[in-house]
Amino acid sequence: MLALASVAAAPARQAAEQSGGNPLVAIGAFLLMLGLLVVIHELGHFLTAVWLGIKVDEFGIGFPPRALTLFERDGVKYTLNWLPLGGFVRFAQTSDGSSDPLYGAGGTLAAAPPLRRIIVMVSGPLMNLLLAMLIFAVLFSTLGVPTPTGGQLISQVFAGTPAERAGFQPGDELRALDGRSVADPRVIGEVARESPGQPVTATVLRDGEEVTLVVVPGPWTSPEGNSFESGFGFSYGPRLEQVQVGPLAAAWRGVTYSLELTGRMVQALAGLPASIFGLFSPEPSADGGPIGPVGIARATGEVIQQPGGFAAFWNLAAVLSLNLFLLNLLPIPALDGSHIIFALVEWLRGGKKVPPEKEALVHAIGFAALMGLMLLITVNDVLNAIRGLPVLGGS
């Protein structure tokens, strides 16, 4: 399980504004969220292994050292451990005592046929996908399905920008730019790029009345220090109306919405290398960049202490669960995706295994690289916290 995520998905950003609340509440909410996501992930590995007849020695909640053994059943110890950071599955050892870098003491899992190993490895990320679908389904069933009304709601107008000079105000609903509907938010960027330095007519809805403004797209700089050659200088998102639906419609929307978000995350992966290299820059990291445990904890604190924070907490949990589903399937050494690749290679070679020492070396190098990347991202998260930059703030 990789404690790394990207908050590029708009629903997470729209869930909350910056909060300066109690850090203990943030830490508690973060541990609850992380524990749930990791335990569900490991539960997928565990249940699938038991179903396929692969021997499991221990299913642990939290990480060692062990606090106590809750009970033992069918040779499996169910334990509670001191570090509240999720959970783990410990598979039975092989006769030579070899171990698996991802699952702890490997054994019957390593000796299982490639197809069975692939099923066990896929099941963990798949449980994160199913959890996200379930969370969204429950939210849609209780709160309604967010449905765009056609306009874009302006949440912030940054100082010294074309938008401020034109008279835009937070709370305005932008309906049209240059005579074009902005139901598709990409139109806003297109108009800015096509009309630099030229007056553009904007139609906004303010306090129930239609207002016409004239704005000249031009260069501007965000409070985080990001510069734009041509733009307006406001943050926005679709104005949404909560439409009540039945349980079946809510469940189906939970499925389709999760898949839509996953698709956006796949597209965002193309920019992940640039975001990682951007961490070496002395400038503040761009909104939507990768975050580690510190950033996730801060994001959790930002949403949990806001009005409607309970729903925002679960919305963020679902988004992060989708992140874990996707990231753990990537062919990154020491993660599920890398183990799947090795199993596929063995399968294509007619059951001939990759030499264990070579596979172990790949996973060891990959794990070291991951820890280095995690350290870099954590340092960046801490610096952003010191600068006072919100994780889920405006863009």
The per-residue pLDDT for range 146-200, each reduced to its tens digit, is: 888 778 889 889 989 999 999 999 999 999 999 999 888 889 989 999 989 999 9
Read off the pLDDT band of 250 (50, 70, 90).
very high
d(CA 75, CA 66) in angstroms, rounded, equals 17
C-alpha 363/C-alpha 100 separation (Å) is 9
- pLDDT tens digit string along 205-219? 998 899 999 999 999
Contact 125, 329 (CB under 8 A): yes
Structure tokens, 166? 């034109």
Residues ≥6 apart with Cβ < 8 Å to 281: none
Paired tokens of 15: 């869930």
Using CA atoms, how far apart are residues 286 and 250, in angstroms rounded to an integer? 34
pLDDT tens, 376-385?
Answer: 666 666 666 6
Helix (H, G, I), strand (E, B) or coil at 224: coil
Contact 61, 82 (CB under 8 A): no
- Specify the pLDDT at position 173: 92
Alpha carbon 150 to chain centroid distance? 27
For the chain, give every residue range classified as CATH 2.30.42.10: 147-243
178: its two tokens? 């240059």
pLDDT of residue 102 exceeding 60, the answer is: no
Tell me the pLDDT tens digit for each residue of 16-47.
333 445 667 777 777 888 888 989 999 999 99
Amino acid making up residue 148: P
Neighbouring C-beta atoms of residue 242, cutoff 10 Å: 11
How far is the CA of 66 from the CAs of 43, 60, 78, 106, in angstroms?
A: 18, 9, 11, 19
Mean pLDDT of the chain: 79
Residues in the chain: 395
| For residue 141, pLDDT beyond 70 | yes
Confidence check: pLDDT of 67 > 50: yes
Residue found under tokens 């992966």? 269
Composition of the chain by helix, strand, coil, percent to 5: 50, 25, 25
Q: pTM (2 decimals)?
A: 0.72
DSSP string spanning 254-267? Answer: HHHHHHHHHHHHHH
Q: In sequence order, what are the beta bridge partners of 218? A: 231
Spatial distance between the Cα atoms of 237 and 233, rounded to a whole number of angstroms: 14
CATH architecture group of domain 147-243: Roll (2.30)
Q: What is the mean pLDDT of residues 94-116?
A: 58
Which residues have a Cβ under 8 Å from the Cβ of 174 and sit 6 or more positions away? 151, 152, 153, 154, 182, 188, 202, 203, 204, 236
Q: Are strands 209-215 and 227-231 parallel, antiparallel or unpaired?
A: unpaired
